[in-house]
Amino acid sequence: MPRTRAIAYCRVSTDKQADKGQSLAVQRARVRAYADLYEIEVVEIIEDAGESAKSLHRPGLQRALMMLANGEADALLVSKLDRLTRSVRDLDDLIRRFFSESSGVALLSVAEMIDTRSASGRLVLNVLASVSQWEREAIGERTAAALAFKKSNGEYTGGRVPFGYRLSDDGVHVVEDTHEQTVIREARLRRLRGWSLRKVGRSLAADGFVSRKGTTLGAKQVARLLEAH
């Protein structure tokens, strides 16, 4: 039976990862040891140094995938799955495009003991992808629930604080800003007199009522201020 030909792929985001057991040298040693153990022929070791896993558009990875597509190897070997990608969506895309059962190309990962040449290996990979997807969605649900609870209690949840309000001294709750509420009240009264938006802004500035940046409120700013209140 012919030996599986594999392209080994290694990646680090920064040089500091050498301190966390993810240096290129460590990854090279791991994939070589794995290849020797399972009698896999390493065609080439391709590396991406200083490349994030947020995208698949990395020079080394794209070259490795091109070699797989051209039939220059039968498998892609990584020391750990997150060296390939941290994105569930990208992993799913790679599986469909390159590592499906019908493609004849395998994905091998040392740390997770993934070998998609077998049915059990494909099952493990799919389970990991599903668990990762569940974890991401669960985190999203918990975050949304926490923000909704904070909002219901009048707590600050991020974003720009509307004109007329400010953060409390503890930086948690949004409370009325007395000065800005006065600006809003004066703007409304002057508008009721039939003044144009521009005239309202100029008259407010003359009385010391200006924007947060210390400038005269323009017509559009006055309009937005009145529409919001």
Active site members: 13
Enumerate the H helices of the chain as residue ranges: 24-37, 59-69, 81-84, 88-97, 119-152, 178-192, 197-206, 219-228
Residue 109 has which token pair? 């990962």
> Which residues have a Cβ under 8 Å from the Cβ of 3 and sit 6 or more positions away?
39, 40, 41
- Which DSSP string do the residues of 150-186 spell out, in sequence order? HHHTTB--SSPPPTTEEE-TTSSBEEE-HHHHHHHHH
SS3 78: strand
From 15, 50, 44, 4, select the one nearest 28 (Cα to Cα). 44
Our CA angle for 116, 10, 71, nearest 5°, is 50
Q: Scanning the structure block, which residue is given the tokens 């049915």? A: 119
Question: In angstroms, how far is CA 148 from the centroid of its own chain?
Answer: 22
